[in-house]
Amino acid sequence: MFTTQLLDVVTTAGVLYIVALGLLIVYGVLKIINLAHGAFLAVGAYAGVVTTGLGWNPWTALLVAFVIGVAGAALVEWRVLRGLYARPMDTILATWGLNIIVVQLITLYFGREIRFAESAIGRAVNIGGATYSEYRLVLLLLAVVLGVGVWLVMQRTQIGIVARAVIMNEELAQALGINTRLVRFVTFGLGAGLAALAGALLTPLVSVHPNLGVPWLINAFMLVLVAGVSLLNLALAALVLGGAQVLVSSYGNPVLGSLTIVILAVIILRFRTITI
Amino acid sequence: MRERWTDHRSRSLATLLVVLSVAMLPAGAVQSQDKGPIVIAVPVGLSGVNSVVAPAVVQSGELAVEEINAKGGVLGRKLQLVPLDDESGPAGAVKAFNTAIRQHKAHTIITMETSAARNAGAPIAERAKTLFIYTSFYEGRACGKSLFINAWVPEQIVPPLIKFMTDDKKVKKWFALGSDYAFGRGMIEAAKSTIKGVGGTILGEEYQPLQQSDWTAIISKIRAANPDGIIYSTSGGGPNIDFMKQFKAAGLKMPVGSLSIDELTAEAGGDAAEGVYYTGDYFTGLDNPENRKFLDAMRKKFGAGLKTPNSLSEPEYDGVYAHAMAVEKAGTTDVDKLVQVLPTIVFKGPRGQVQMNKQHHASLPVYLAQVQANGKTKVLKSFGLVDPGNQCPSLK
């Protein structure tokens, strides 16, 4: 029982981390909350449906989802968001509007009924005396890989240094000759690509329908509010809030559990002294 | 009325004329209506949560109307089907019922709706003296003088499933779970009382919020409780597949009975729901001549545009037929007469024999089915006609 619960906590944190990562990156660099994040999750999930429907290997869905997410985001950043950075409130409207448009387009093409994507792994494995879903363990591994990958990019590459400069002080970065427009463009693409990738990764766990992104968006939003722009904080927030959700659901009930993330986020925000 | 009138022969001619002219008014109105078609309104969720199933409901109704009209209609009049959008909710239902009655002069409303939409629409139909045949399974105990229901209530679906799993699958210790909403909880309540009745025990009972698609915590509780079998009732569609996928990925193998899965969902889920047992009154795989004829006719009429008939859409077909037979027998569309006649009508349709004679509800043929490896549903056996129990004791 203890092993299972420990695994529940860490794998739930892993899933939350994967889902929130794209949102955090966009928030960090662009200073906007991408409310179309849920729509990109759905896009990725449907990429999984289509690729496995074509009989391709389920893992290829990840690549397809990422590419489609980046391409869609590039178009949106170029035609919609670019003109709105000076008006942050309007970006909220624009990205939420985009969310509605994308969800409706998906509904028009695929219909409202649920879809199904083939899972790469459907079996359970024995770990520490407990039988556990192998796929959730793989997700945990992927969360770590993605986290470390993005961290390395930010710390060790030219792109990362430029992005960090923009995060810290955009005007100064601009003055130093950094093309902030390009940085924004690339970051938004990467963030949306990661969202679509997360959507494809979710399909073996949940059924696919046009609105599947909304509840995930809410949780990811809370995590990012708590974590600010730090990748490490995000991991910590996913572990604490996700863990609390699992434990409250286990020892209390899942109805309370689903409130845990929101309530804890509010409490943490109230008492957090360090601002980002 | 007539007796009293003869008693007062001494009244003046003027009074007589007034009485006569008043008496003529409704007669004239009825006569002009008699020539036109009999209008059946179908307020259904063409948008909103029911929009997945609504097109199939309309198609079932269209086929029934076409078949009846091809045989000359009813009382020499054609039937006309008017589908309306109730937006899957009460506000839309009020609009749709008013439009049906005032604008389309609907004689009868025959439809599948959400319970909230039905509760909003039924009083409007009642006031307008319009017969309302409700064709959706629901939580039970909706009563009205002109409201009839030809689909199942929990009393008909739950006990057969629990008894089968107890007797044939040797499930004694149960784990019950569901989505946290009225219908899900109602179904689990019905299951619990049956389980207690057959001497089973309930090791755990858990509900999950509607929006939450991660069942991890509940699955861990199931593992810890280690029951012989599972009974669950999520909200319709996706959550069934979410739960079953995660249940299987966790390596759990006990038998599962579902109170919320349906053929379309099971098929969309591929092998996710393989092995799940469930009961119902209609399955496309029912092997009887009426169902084969119904499915052939549906395929022929709608071709590639056919929405797969299901337990929410097929009763619309039965409802249109039962109504036509009642009008034919009563010789009128007058609601007071129809309410008397409708319970005497027996329609043998794709589900089997349906008669709405149990306090405006119907004893229904109930079948046991199991989801196969390809997601298709296989009908395993029939429980025969199952009584709906005391739904509306104040009605006959």
Q: Which residue of B has its CA nearest to A247?
A: B217
Q: What are phi and psi of A22, to 5 degrees?
A: -60, -40
Residue A275 has pLDDT above 70, yes or no: no
A133 touches chain B (CB under 8 A): yes
SS3 B58: helix
Residue A128 has pLDDT above 90, yes or no: no
Contact residues on chain B for A136, CB-CB shorter than 8 A: 216, 249
Contact residues on chain A for B207, CB-CB shorter than 8 A: 253-255
More confident residue, A245 or A116: A245
Model pLDDT, residue A206: 85
Contact A254 B209 (CB under 8 A): yes
Task: Decide if A43 contacts A72 (C-beta within 8 A).
Answer: yes
Distances (CA, A) of A33 to A25, A104, A188, A240, A259: 10, 21, 11, 22, 21
The residue written with tokens 């001619």 in the block is B13
| Interface pTM, i.e. ipTM | 0.80
Architecture of the domain defined by A2-271: Orthogonal Bundle (1.10)
Asked which of A80-94, A110-124, B43-57, B189-203 is least confident by mean pLDDT, the reply is: A110-124
Q: What angle do CA B260, B264, B265 make, to 5 degrees?
A: 50
Distances (CA, A) of B309 to A111, A188, A206, A231, B72: 17, 44, 25, 50, 26
State the burial class of residue B15 (Cβ atoms within 10 Å of its Cβ: 0-12, 13-18, 19+): exposed
Model pLDDT, residue B32: 45
For B322-381, write each residue's pLDDT tens digit. 999 999 999 999 999 999 999 999 999 999 999 999 999 999 999 999 999 999 999 999
Q: What domains does chain B contain, in order, with CATH numbers?
A: 2-34 (no CATH), 36-152+287-358 (3.40.50.2300), 155-280 (3.40.50.2300)
* Other CB atoms within 10 Å distance of the CB of residue A228: 16
Task: Enter the tokens of residue A204.
Answer: 């073996």
- Give the confidence band of A80 by pLDDT, cuts at 50, 70, 90: confident
Contact B249 A124 (CB under 8 A): yes
Distances (CA, A) of B208 to A10, B233, B246, B260: 20, 10, 14, 14
DSSP tag of B103: I
A128 touches chain B (CB under 8 A): no
Q: CB under 8 Å to B371, separation ≥6 — which residues?
A: B261, B266, B273, B274, B275, B276, B278, B377, B378
Contact B211 A214 (CB under 8 A): yes
The four Cα atoms A259, A261, A264, A270 give a dihedral, to 10 degrees, of: -110
- Give the confidence band of A274 by pLDDT, cuts at 50, 70, 90: low
Contact A257 B214 (CB under 8 A): no
For B139-177, write each residue's pLDDT tens digit. 999 999 999 999 999 999 999 999 999 999 999 999 999
Domain ranges of chain A: 2-271
- Give the confidence band of A273 by pLDDT, cuts at 50, 70, 90: low
A209 touches chain B (CB under 8 A): yes
Contact residues on chain A for B238, CB-CB shorter than 8 A: 114, 206-209, 212
Residue B7 has pLDDT above 50, yes or no: no
